[in-house]
Structure 1
């Protein structure tokens, strides 16, 4: 048997060999090739230029959407805010905000908390919250998720519309107040009234110590997700504590964050976010103020 190379060489002996074209034919071919490539480039360039020009004149450029603003110019969705029913810890008068504890049995609903959650569910039903469908966004803290399940059951919402929220709706971390009596939280609110940036004292047991401003960042991020993910839908936000909701509502209506406590939610309370409460959007001064003479010394 012959090797492949030998086979090709043998076959080449029997195949007609192409003759070399005369020099004048080569020159004609090169000129024609040059002409075609030049023409193609000109057509391509003119097409691209006219297409680009046409786009820039007739097609509006989509404006980039910025981050969610507080207060927002408008809301795309309809929102209901719900504080979860009372937890076992709360029934004992103990502060528990460490996220490690949020799925423990004692973070679940107390007997009174279950009744509060049932009332919240029927309040939402009476308000027609889920008449045309709704999404339930609930913190995975036991009491919040249990409340959300009760709301879903009473309002005929399937589990696929119950969305667990893993971090943005965690109860506000109160640092060194962890494990103390609920009454001592008044000291935290006294600090809130001075500045939204004051944090509770830190602790070494892993409990976060969050200021109002810290929580504000979290709930703003949550609203940014909801306003981007849904359009024209109803969203029920279920929080394990009051502070998430009061700080969120203060941001939505433009209330000074130092006064968020004025909007306090009791366990099981339901509140509709009324768009009419959101102040009319005012363009920032930096966007309308013009200075054409001697910047930055403008008069």
Structure 2
């Protein structure tokens, strides 16, 4: 369900291409997220520089901003580039240790990137279908699993900040598409229609978030959450 309102301004950024992605390989095992191979490729660095310049042109950090990257190497590197280009102190980079991990794709780990289309076919059937498991420690997350993570992240950000600008930097597309689908009220099974390319930047436009509607159930009587007198 989309939130009734957002107290902060948000920009969503996918980190540029990683070393693994440049080889055409799926890598979502969190054990490897801080390794050099999980960092930006040369192409990814250029993509991220364009992201940083785009954010500057959009005035994202004119009145300062907080940058929340995944601790995954490429996302944190992207955050450092964004901060440098936009004149933001490194103290405003807040590493996220779990809620922004790349979606765990289970048995697809190590396969060619094209195989992710099979994951999206399953996603379109049900948001609770998980990729096949694997025994190397790579999670196998459904859309619903990721939605729980990104919802927890937004809860933290909305609680911690008020009327600030937050740039969320994800190592993959799925975190962002599932978050955006949730914000705009799109069926989560269709999240892949919102796909982010490497280095892509999007502003979360509050006007695109539907007005909160009271559920038909009599259990819910709050028309103006969280003020439910």
What's the TM-score bracket when you normalise by the shorter of the two chains? over 0.9
Once residues 87 and 110 of structure 2 are traced to their aligned partners in structure 1, the CA distance between those partners, rounded to angstroms, is 37
Larger Rg over CA atoms: 1
- Pair 1:113 & 2:44 matched: yes
Once residues 73 and 220 of structure 2 are traced to their aligned partners in structure 1, the CA distance between those partners, rounded to angstroms, is 50
Name the one with the larger helix percent.
Answer: 1
Aligned to 2:206: 275
The structure showing larger relative contact order (alpha-carbon pairs under 8 Å, at least 6 residues apart) is: 2
Aligned to 1:207: 138
Q: TM-score, normalised by structure 2?
A: 0.95
Once residues 48 and 112 of structure 2 are traced to their aligned partners in structure 1, the CA distance between those partners, rounded to angstroms, is 23
Aligned to 2:93: 162
Once residues 186 and 61 of structure 2 are traced to their aligned partners in structure 1, the CA distance between those partners, rounded to angstroms, is 28
Once residues 104 and 231 of structure 1 are traced to their aligned partners in structure 2, the CA distance between those partners, rounded to angstroms, is 34
Offset at residue 285 of structure 1 (A): 1.6
Once residues 145 and 104 of structure 1 are traced to their aligned partners in structure 2, the CA distance between those partners, rounded to angstroms, is 12
Once residues 183 and 159 of structure 1 are traced to their aligned partners in structure 2, the CA distance between those partners, rounded to angstroms, is 36
Secondary structure, aligned partner of 2:104:
coil
Deviations 1:111-159 (A, max 9, x none): 0000000000000000000000100000010000000000000001001
Q: Structure 1: 5+ residue runs without aligned partners?
A: 1-69, 291-299
Once residues 217 and 119 of structure 2 are traced to their aligned partners in structure 1, the CA distance between those partners, rounded to angstroms, is 35
Conserved in 1, the CA contact under 8 Å of 2:101 and 2:170?
yes
Q: Structure 2: 5+ residue runs without aligned partners?
A: 222-229
Alignment counterpart, residue 34 of structure 2, candidates 90, 94, 103 = 103
Aligned length: 221
- The structure-2 alpha-carbon separation of the partners of 1:289 and 1:189, relative to structure 1 and needing over 3 Å to count, comes to closer
Alignment counterpart, residue 286 of structure 1, candidates 217, 222, 225 = 217
- The structure-2 alpha-carbon separation of the partners of 1:118 and 1:283, relative to structure 1 and needing over 3 Å to count, comes to same
- Pair 1:195 & 2:126 matched: yes
Alignment counterpart, residue 126 of structure 1, candidates 29, 32, 57 = 57
Aligned to 1:258: 189
- The structure-2 alpha-carbon separation of the partners of 1:77 and 1:287, relative to structure 1 and needing over 3 Å to count, comes to farther
Runs of 4+ in 1 over 6 A off after TM superposition: none
Conserved in 1, the CA contact under 8 Å of 2:214 and 2:220?
no
Aligned to 1:31: none
